[in-house]
Structure 1
Amino acid sequence: MAYFVLPGRGKRVYRLAVARRIVDATARGPRDRTAPGLARRRTRVLRRALRPSRRLQIGLGPWLRALPARLPDPALTAALAELDPYVRVAYVLLRIEGLPKYAVRDQLRELRVRDPWPVIDAACAVSVPVPHRAERFDPAHLRPVRTRSVLPLVTAAALTTALVGVLIHTGSGRPGAAAPSLRLAAAPPSAWTRGARTLDAWPARGDLTGDRAFLDRAAAAWAAAKGGRSPGGGTAQLLYAGHAGGAPLALMRRGDRVARYAPPGLDVVTAGTDASAPIALGGGRYLLAPWEPAPRTLAGAALPARDGVVAPAPAGTPCGRGPLFHLGDRTLGYLGGPRAAVLTYHSPGYAPGGAPAAPARLGPGAVRTWNRLGCLEPPRSRPVTDAMAWEFWSGTLPHGGAPASWFCTRTAYADGGRAGASMLVADRPHDTGPCDARRPVSGTWWQSPSGRWYFLAAAASGFVPRVRGALGPAATDHRLLVARPERGPNVPVAVTAAPR
């Protein structure tokens, strides 16, 4: 967030280093982990990124040395650099952070913007290039920032080497004393056929499961991980050890955390405990549950899988998020995060309150819809179990408007879900706030091609929208309500759904 809000001058490496220095300087301890603490910290980060001090450029070496191996795509930052600073903040909060408009309004007021709505409207009207890859920084990929002299570290390393040499020479080291403090264990290959189908029953697969030296290095790397990522001593479950994509890779698990070890790097993520959701290995490859059938491409062809690992199946979208492949009677997609999620879709004719639909693969039309929505949904860092898209209204907007579709999307996590509505006009999204995923209804202010403002509201099949607010006469046609404002636009309006 700090990286995109900073003024667009200078090289990317300095911009990213300054952004991380700002974030590091705003940390205030454990209280930052609470929801109010995170909100206050976000305000501190935005204030410093809006008007960065020149002193941040002094002594920047430790942050430059800690840069990730791959820098963000410059196209987006170049476009954002042309915007007014507060419009840039609003765009980042809306489109990259995925915050609803009311939260962006509150944040702008915290930044002392007297009238946030014109700023938000300007941000919604911005059209910037779609980045070639997801613009999220996984904390597990960031190198530690070392701001102290390396001389004490070199001295300590030399003394440790000497001490180890003495211990080996005198025979003080007991057999096994050099083994990693974390031990890897694997479920029996047929455990999933005899008991509950849980993650604990996933066997270890791959051509390196018998390479004890490689596994010891993987376990030692996780045991030595910094920043609270280490599981400590004890036992972790080995899920995979092999050459995924040609390079050696180990996948280890303890509880809801998964560590991917690809020498020399280690990536630790919270992956949840869903037993059936494929786990991302990187490079478009996923490790499947041992009981899953052979995967299929979105076109229905067989998709190769070896040792439980699906061949690369990237989403066919510019941002890399969207449908991936069929697995039995489900369609899996990538929305960000460490797991693939089950994608479902309801067309405008779907009737709310009916019997739950049986799991089914997405058809070509539903795949095209999710390809449109994939890049519009903000990347999810938490493991997603399933995601539903309900196209509850589609048609042509009135008074010379363009064809549009109104969606209610619900993302489900292990501890709950989040649903929100958005209207797509010529594939440009308009966030219209939360929605009820059981019987969607939503409303928004919309400006016609002639420049006049209208309030639009739509409801799912079998319902009609009802509104309360400072509106003039309203007309409803094909479940779309259209009303003119009594005063100006953007006044609060309450929207409900009534049975037809």
Structure 2
Amino acid sequence: MKSRPSHAPFHSKKKPHRRVPVAEAEAALIEHYPRLVRLGYLALPATIGRHRRVLIAHRHAQRSLRVALGSTGGEGPYAALRREVLRQALAQGRRRGRLRSALAAAGLPQVLGLRLYPQAGGSAELALDRALASLPGAARAAYALLGVEGLDEQAAGDVLTQAGANDPRGAVRTAVAIESDHRLLAAGEFDPCTVQVRPTDLLRRRQRARTGLFTGAAVAVAAVVLAVAAIGGPPEPRRSGGSPGSAAGAQQAIDPAALVRAAPQAWAATARLDFTAWPARGNRAGDRPLLGKALATWANPGPSVQVSATPGTPRTAPSQPPQLLYAGDVDSATVVIFYDGLRLVRYAQARTGGSGAAALDFAQVSDADITTAAAVVVDRGDGNTRFLTAPWVAGSETRDLLQPDKQGVPLHRAADGTTDPVRMPGAGAAAGACGTTWPVLQLRSSSRVVEQHSFLLTDLGDLSPVHLTFTPPPVPGDTARAPREATGPEALDSWAHGACRLGELRGQGVRSVNDWQFARTPLPEGAGSAAWTCDRADTWRGPGRATVQFVPPSAPATAPGTLAGRQTDGSACSRFGRNVLGGVMWRSPAGHWYLLAAGSRDVQSIASSNGVTASVSGSSLAVPAPRDTRATLTAHLKSGATLRPLGGN
């Protein structure tokens, strides 16, 4: 369930000031306690573990009463409590201090020797939990406000502003982009008032008196429920064998015997084609000493280990046994690749007889799919990359984006799915230059999962290659067109003009880039028609960037388009920003200069000022103008809204 995008700025509405009465605040706390605790639980960082999140969420809900009593902001009692719960949760996420000491100082729920967890959910709840864990605190809070509270985007932004969130607009935008049903938040997976109780370490505590255990459990549950009775059925089993945050759980997380291994044919018997369907492959997948060393390095990398991570990816130790995707010898390195539900983690060391420090790389890959989980970088060296392809990949080729008319070349893969070396884009070129080729992978999915499905991936320096798609120009009278695979002639011709700008995205944790040809416009003096494109890059962590280009018919096949606008962080050219306007100065073959502008399908009129005064009905403008004109462009949409070019005029 998604709410309508809102382009109005978030603000706090002024209301008459009044202090919240004690009786009203207490009544609101008792009545809405489960909701308040759930909001706090969702907004807290997942990295602190479920046990501590449960306790801290209860702590914040209870402390909110004291602060709300002093509020004079004109809110109702519940709004004041909610604002304070979120403020504390967001502040807790920023501090990331010693939580145990903070709990003790507060004199609130204390549990010794036991761990508390919300009930385990199904696959949908697990997927949502993983998606939320990858977001910053403000975005998690925004998702909770949209889902638990049922607020619209404007109201959610107002609450976040009052709670002291940084960039509430961006937080709401990130939350809206999550492809999950808000109703999942009603599940026990996200209910810290209905908990299961487990000991910290059964192996150590098995000889202790059972009476003490039962007494401790009763005290723990009584401390947690406090003002609300925990309601729910019998506890469900945990998904993993260890307890996150406990000594036993931490030890099991780095035990090679506990690694998750998918069945070799799991991908052919599931509707969930992502990294969870990858079997463990490689000639050293059974090498326990190697796997143990890789896990131990992940949990505690020493000073000599070279650690890298894509932006926004946590470098934390595993909290439960991860899934093994690969372990083997590749060229001069020994490589192990894990997947923990949110991240790819690659461990590499020199093969026997080699030298050099070990390396540990992290990359966020939450909500991967049949294309974005189709390949992983195994090794790089000498300007080449080897990939490990998904088990559902039936065919592989390489092709050059800068030569759209040239057919792909078959790419050999070993029995374990590793490819021959593929030249890295820009390898051998001068710093900052594109080079003369832009190699990409063209993979084909097995007919056992989808018919006639080929797609393009490009290496931009991260563990996960980037999925390239294409949206064709609008057809008059037709509905908006959706992105499709960039393997057809029209898509390849368009991408040839945008390929070199992909280099600007290296190392940014990009998930996919869509080349949207939002307009084709006739040029003055009968010079043919020009293409206007917006290349939208989406990152795994949420934010994206957009680049608008103008491509005249005279442009060579490999020439980048003329830059016509840019947005470094926003929703432009995504499904939440479907309207775009671009403008450039263009010289005709006869040597005359024109101001050109074009907008997407909902643009009804375009006007220019500041040097060139002109207006036209429709979605394109072309007027003579002096060479150095820097006109101000505006457009009006069918909705009546005003649109301006990206990045200014």
Smaller-chain TM-score bracket = 0.5 to 0.7
Deviations, residues 143-194 of structure 1 (Å, cap 9, x unaligned): xxxxxxxxxxxxxxxxxxxxxxxxxxxxxxxxxxxx9972341323244445
Amino acid paired to 1:231: A
Runs of 5+ in structure 2 lacking a partner? 1-89, 95-250, 308-313, 350-356, 400-406, 446-452, 640-649
Q: Distance in 1 between matches of 2:615 and 2:276?
A: 57
Structure 1 residues 436, 297: closer, same or farther in 2, change over 3 A? closer
Whether the aligned pair in 2 keeps the contact of 1:412 and 1:418 (CA below 8 Å) is yes
Whether the aligned pair in 2 keeps the contact of 1:206 and 1:240 (CA below 8 Å) is yes
1:407 Cα deviation from its structure 2 partner: 1.1
Structure 1 residues 335, 232: closer, same or farther in 2, change over 3 A? closer
1:235 is paired with a residue of what secondary structure?
Answer: coil
1:375 is paired with a residue of what secondary structure?
Answer: helix
Match of 1:237 in 2: 323
Residue 186 (str. 1) matches residue 311 (str. 2): no
Whether the aligned pair in 2 keeps the contact of 1:410 and 1:419 (CA below 8 Å) is yes
1:244 Cα deviation from its structure 2 partner: 3.1
Q: Given the alignment, which residue of 404, 413, 419 partners 1:305?
A: 413
1:224 Cα deviation from its structure 2 partner: 2.2
Q: Distance in 2 between matches of 1:487 and 1:340?
A: 41
Structure 1 residues 447, 198: closer, same or farther in 2, change over 3 A? closer
| Bigger Rg, structure 1 or 2 | 2
Match of 1:482 in 2: 622
Residue 363 (str. 1) matches residue 460 (str. 2): no
Q: Distance in 1 between matches of 2:631 and 2:593?
A: 12
1:302 Cα deviation from its structure 2 partner: 4.2
Q: Which moved more, 1:340-349 or 1:370-379?
A: 340-349
Match of 1:262 in 2: 348
Deviations, residues 28-86 of structure 1 (Å, cap 9, x unaligned): xx99x99xxxxxxxxxxxxxxxxxxxxxxxxxxxxxxxxxxxxxxxxxxxxxxxxxxxx
Deviations, residues 417-472 of structure 1 (Å, cap 9, x unaligned): 54331224643532423554576642324264899864321135796652253464
Q: Distance in 2 between matches of 1:361 and 1:487?
A: 36
Match of 2:458 in 1: 334
Structure 1 residues 209, 366: closer, same or farther in 2, change over 3 A? same
Structure 1 residues 216, 454: closer, same or farther in 2, change over 3 A? same
Following superposition of structure 1 onto structure 2, how do residues 61-460 of structure 1 map, counting pairs within 5 Å? 182-184=254-256, 185-189=259-263, 190-195=265-270, 196-225=272-301, 229-231=315-317, 234-245=320-331, 247-263=333-349, 264-273=357-366, 274-276=368-370, 277=372, 278-283=375-380, 284-298=385-399, 299=407, 302-306=410-414, 307-314=416-423, 319=434, 323-328=440-445, 329-334=453-458, 336=460, 337-348=462-473, 350=475, 354=479, 356=481, 359-360=484-485, 362-377=487-502, 378-393=504-519, 398=524, 405-414=531-540, 415=542, 417-424=544-551, 426=555, 427-428=559-560, 429-433=562-566, 435-436=572-573, 441-446=580-585, 448=587, 454-460=594-600
Deviations, residues 216-238 of structure 1 (Å, cap 9, x unaligned): 22222222226773415642222
Q: Distance in 2 between matches of 1:234 and 1:281?
A: 23
Amino acid paired to 1:203: P
Runs of 5+ in structure 1 lacking a partner? 1-29, 35-178
Deviations, residues 271-300 of structure 1 (Å, cap 9, x unaligned): 312143222223332223323333244435
Q: Distance in 1 between matches of 2:327 and 2:438?
A: 26
Q: Distance in 1 between matches of 2:526 and 2:584?
A: 16
Whether the aligned pair in 2 keeps the contact of 1:180 and 1:219 (CA below 8 Å) is no
Amino acid paired to 1:338: L
Match of 1:99 in 2: none
1:294 is paired with a residue of what secondary structure?
Answer: strand
Q: Distance in 1 between matches of 2:327 and 2:274?
A: 19
Q: Distance in 2 between matches of 1:391 and 1:455?
A: 20
Q: Distance in 1 between matches of 2:524 and 2:480?
A: 34
Structure 1 residues 188, 256: closer, same or farther in 2, change over 3 A? closer
Q: Distance in 2 between matches of 1:330 and 1:498?
A: 37
1:207 Cα deviation from its structure 2 partner: 0.9
Match of 2:247 in 1: none
Amino acid paired to 1:367: L
Match of 2:168 in 1: none
Q: Distance in 1 between matches of 2:476 and 2:364?
A: 34
1:255 Cα deviation from its structure 2 partner: 3.5
Fraction of identical pairs, as percent: 25
Measured on the aligned residues, the alpha-carbon RMSD in Å equals 4.4
Amino acid paired to 2:546: A
